[in-house]
Structure 1
Amino acid sequence: MATAIGSGAMSNSLHDLDEADLFLVTGSNTTEAHPIIGMQIWQAVRHKNKKLIVIDPRKIELTKYAAMHLRQRPGTDVAVYNGLARVIIEEGLADLDFIRDRTEGFEEAKEIIMTYTPEVVEKISGIPKEQLIEAARMYGKAERASIYWAMGSTQHINGVHGVHSIVNLAMLTGNIGKPGTGVNPLRGQNNVQGACDMGCLPNQFPGYKPVNVPENVERVEKVWGVKVPTKPGLTLTDMVNSMGTEGGIKGLYIMGENPMMSDPDLNHAKEAFESLEFLVVQDIFLTETAELAHVVFPATSFAEKEGTFTNTERRIQRVRKAVNPPGDAWEDTKIICSLSKEMGYPMEYPSASKVMDELASVTPIYECVSYEYLDKGVAVHWPCNSCSIDRTSCGTLIMGTPVLHEEKFTRGAGKFLAFEFQPPTEWPDDEYPLILTTGRNLWHWHGGSQTRKVSSLNERSPEPYMELNAADAKKMGIKNSEEVKVTSKRGGITLKAVISDRPTPGVVFIPWHYKE
């Protein structure tokens, strides 16, 4: 997204969700993974006559209310988005004025897009051409259409190409830069947006400033008083692959993450983490990863510390301490500052608000963010470069930029980037005939480090399971609730089978919350 429009964040606020005429939800089981947003979309469709298109190989709650449900073969998203774009162009539904005035690269992208006829897309994705055409017309004719997606669209081999193809659809129809429209990635965790904003990325300083640009280096060195790295670091997958190799990573400090549950190949991850000479884990529970650590720092939960969360809509919100931490647990800032002092770099912050003041000084998009406004309940959306406060139609005090790209894109002109469909590295074969998809259910979150310690949630979803279509179950002689072993080329697990019409034939689904 940043390459195409200058920002990788959700372009619109949830305040203007009701102003959309149509929602296109792809790669997101919204009601289970993002239930508040899912409920807003559900209410808009059920009670305000908004239209909904869902692109997902599996039936989800929202498909019950969708005008169209396109069930693509997993991994074929790029072909589907290109096919939708072709129909929009071919039937004269593209916003040519917007394309001319606000974008670049359209003609080059069009050459690729126009090769994806409905017939070609049907052959690749399995979506009937009539459904593809109808969905394209519906999206193209909507006065205000917004697209929502999550990790189902990004966490596979062609995820980057898929996101560019989604952005193409929005720019093609002029559905960006105004309320009720936009490209809206739903973040996978409650403060992952804030963590990225603050520079928890291998190639950027706070505010998404590249580490290899001299003026960015100068800004942070002036405030922090130290020399900072000017070369990008390793990605998460590169870090894991580096462990145990000559010249690779020997020590690691992990905060609030449990890769021994969330890594896609746990056998490989276990071997990598056990090769480390020194592992520190800072967490609120003794997770599977913490069990491998040489040192564990007991940290605090959200209810035991002061600070802010920046949510998926770029909204910065106060977190207030409700109770004192138990036992020897410390707030994250206390742990980090104490450790930093022992290592020769004292950091003293008398309050969380002082941390925010420093962040604002090195993060241009947070320039005017302060506790003065956050403590008043003002809805602050970055970029926030003015202290002007407005009031929404429902009375909410608002500050900053709820809608991005209104007059121009962050990068100037929006850039069309189209890509050819590339099949996944591995397709089903005689030995492994099924496609495995993974995701969340409503009752648990991520690796289950917190939710699986709640008895009421465990009662609703107590154990791992595999959903499979009745046709596949019959073919393999599997009965409902029967224990089965699921294997891939990299490992295997044993769990119960749930026969369901939610997956398509040839596809199974397993939620990832269970260490069993």
Structure 2
Amino acid sequence: MTNSIAEIEDAEVIFIIGSNTTENHPVIGTFVKRAKNKGAKIIVADPREIELAKLSDVFMQLKPGTNVALLNAMMNVIIEENLQDEEFIKERCENYDELKEVVKDYTPEKAEVITGVKADLIREAARIYAKADKACILYAMGVTQHATGTENVYSIANLAMLCGKLGKESCGVNPLRGQNNVQGACDMGGLPDVFPGYQKVHIKENVEKFEKAWGVKLSDKPGLTVSEMFHEAIKGKLKALYIMGENPVISDPDTKHVIEALEKLEFLVVQDIFLTETAQYADVVLPAASFAEKDGTFTNTERRVQRVRKAINNVGQSKADWEIIVDIMNRMGYKCSYKSARDIFDELAKVTPQYAGIDYDRIENEGIQWPCPTKDHPGTKILHKDKFARGKGLFKPTKYRTSAEQPDDEYPFILTTGRILYHYHTMTMTGKNEGLMKIAGESYVEINPMDAKKYGISDGDLVEVTSRRGSVRVKAKITDVVNEGVVFMPFHYADGSANVLTNTAYDEVTKEPELKVCAVRIKKA
């Protein structure tokens, strides 16, 4: 997040796109509701009529995969009506003329044809956002989990810069992370092309810096993303895989493809707190400790580094992740002498500029938001206050492209997937809770009443949902939350798994799979 969670409450306008905030980020959802109670205007763009849509001033129920067309049309209106922040653009941005050239073709009327959102709603949303002094954008995986995910994010950044809504209180571009320490994992270098602190592996100085810190020779070649790993495993080029705290058999697209990749491996290690669906394919399972059994830090979606403290003794033979990894490194000949999670964090702070001023003593009682370059620095509440990291903010205009898979006569529906309030990721933990399973114990598919009538499907009927990759049977949930021609399934469940259906198309830049759009057909089972 460029800004902070608490600032949401004081925003005059909140634009939520591709985020079912109250179900997927319920704590942040409370800040949105507080802002609404204080008089804030809410704009929601989503393929489903989520809870916040009912509280919104403008609800744009767009066709899945059409974010770029919608955002370009909003910018078209803003420029046509001279609502842009000319001073901000002149002083802090570049490539504005190219942006104008691209978005001029995306009239609200053209966008209505592409997105299904009425032109007047697009105009109203654009005016409300542009005219507010304090307007923030919240987005989540409804924006990023597309083959055009990078372009979607560029478009959001373009909109914010166009209106001068960056570097200011209660403004900003604010991605809501999918799990509690996704931000921290990325910060630590859990990406294939960076060292900790997003220091690129192809830059010679970075390689030399970490070779000195770690006492080994390091490659300057980026590694593989998760999507690429499975492709390479099937080709026989990736021989072994070590999976920590992840359950791709349920969470990744095209389950058949994932299982084929795992079975093709010569060696699979899974490190987890339960024997997950993925762990059942492993040659070795390493019992990890849960959050309650270990010390360390989590870095949340607002970049706040917070302490995690051991509350209970380790169950059985389980160990903290870092202890397992240190054991393996020592046995493989790389001598490690870390005695605690604190030792590791202290090393991290030495090699990571954003974390340089943070230590356990400073975050004993309250977390600190990075960047925090020195021990006397208070942390950074708002990014890009005076200038952008690259100097001038770069407009990256993008043209709308259709999703990788479109509905046709054989597969006439768009399936989109997501999360629900009662379950966490692949239910590794929540699926063992009796109370939650009583509330939300089985998978389902949401179908619009008009489509249900056409196919002779009643609420609660068993329905067969089929894509080019597979078929599942789930209960029908008849609801006008989804438009005609669109169906929705939660991805949490192993029985009736949505990802049996999804496709492996991915964003060429981030390699993020297109989990939010695939073509399916439905019939009463």
* TM-score normalised by L of structure 1: 0.95
Contact 1:178-1:403 at 8 Å conserved across structures:
yes
Q: How does 1:85-484 map to 2 (within 5 A)?
A: 85-246=75-236, 248-375=237-364, 377-388=365-376, 399-484=378-463
Contact 1:99-1:172 at 8 Å conserved across structures:
yes
Shift of 1:44: 1.2
Shift of 1:425: 2.3
Moved segments of 4+, more than 4 Å: none
User: Are 2:14 and 1:23 equivalent residues in the alignment?
Assistant: yes
CA distance in structure 1 between the partners assigned to 2:290 and 2:155 by the alignment:
38
Contact 2:249-2:258 at 8 Å conserved across structures:
yes
Instruction: Please tell me the residue identity of whatever aligns with 1:255.
Output: M
Contact 1:466-1:496 at 8 Å conserved across structures:
yes
1:432-482 Cα distance to aligned partner (Å, 9 max, x none): 111101000000011111110111111110100011110110011001000
CA distance in structure 1 between the partners assigned to 2:404 and 2:196 by the alignment:
35
CA distance in structure 2 between the partners assigned to 1:466 and 1:76 by the alignment:
22
Residue of structure 1 in register with 2:27 after alignment: 36
Contact 2:8-2:14 at 8 Å conserved across structures:
no
1:206-238 Cα distance to aligned partner (Å, 9 max, x none): 000100111111211111111111011111111
Q: What SS does structure 2 have at the residue aligned with 1:373? A: coil
CA distance in structure 2 between the partners assigned to 1:147 and 1:37 by the alignment:
13
Shift of 1:121: 0.5
CA distance in structure 2 between the partners assigned to 1:406 and 1:386 by the alignment:
18
CA distance in structure 1 between the partners assigned to 2:212 and 2:406 by the alignment:
52
Shift of 1:417: 0.6
1:2-46 Cα distance to aligned partner (Å, 9 max, x none): xxxxxxxx100112222311000000000111010011101211x
Q: What SS does structure 2 have at the residue aligned with 1:400? A: coil
Q: What SS does structure 2 have at the residue aligned with 1:374? A: coil
1:406-428 Cα distance to aligned partner (Å, 9 max, x none): 00001111100111111112221
Instruction: Please tell me the residue identity of whatever aligns with 2:330.
Output: K
Instruction: Please tell me the residue identity of whatever aligns with 1:330.
Output: K
Residue of structure 2 in register with 1:4 after alignment: none
Residue of structure 1 in register with 2:40 after alignment: 50
CA distance in structure 1 between the partners assigned to 2:323 and 2:63 by the alignment:
48
Instruction: Please tell me the residue identity of whatever aligns with 2:245.
Output: G
1:125-152 Cα distance to aligned partner (Å, 9 max, x none): 1111111111111111111100000000
Contact 2:18-2:46 at 8 Å conserved across structures:
yes
Number of residues paired by the alignment? Answer: 495
CA distance in structure 1 between the partners assigned to 2:346 and 2:184 by the alignment:
15
Contact 2:13-2:134 at 8 Å conserved across structures:
yes
Q: What SS does structure 2 have at the residue aligned with 1:297? A: strand
CA distance in structure 2 between the partners assigned to 1:380 and 1:17 by the alignment:
18
CA distance in structure 2 between the partners assigned to 1:51 and 1:156 by the alignment:
28
Shift of 1:379: 2.9
Contact 1:283-1:299 at 8 Å conserved across structures:
yes
CA distance in structure 1 between the partners assigned to 2:383 and 2:95 by the alignment:
21
Contact 1:244-1:250 at 8 Å conserved across structures:
no
1:374-412 Cα distance to aligned partner (Å, 9 max, x none): 11x2330001013336xxxxxxxxx21110000000111
Contact 2:419-2:490 at 8 Å conserved across structures:
yes
Q: 1:496 aligns with which of 475, 479, 485?
A: 475
Q: What SS does structure 2 have at the residue aligned with 1:371? A: coil
Instruction: Please tell me the residue identity of whatever aligns with 2:84.
Output: A
CA distance in structure 2 between the partners assigned to 1:498 and 1:15 by the alignment:
36
Residue of structure 2 in register with 1:394 after alignment: none
How high is the sequence identity, in percent, across the aligned residues? 52
Contact 2:9-2:34 at 8 Å conserved across structures:
no
CA distance in structure 1 between the partners assigned to 2:182 and 2:408 by the alignment:
37
Shift of 1:251: 0.4
Instruction: Please tell me the residue identity of whatever aligns with 2:320.
Output: E
CA distance in structure 1 between the partners assigned to 2:126 and 2:70 by the alignment:
10
Contact 2:41-2:57 at 8 Å conserved across structures:
yes
Q: What SS does structure 2 have at the residue aligned with 1:494? A: strand
1:150-177 Cα distance to aligned partner (Å, 9 max, x none): 0001101111101000000100000000
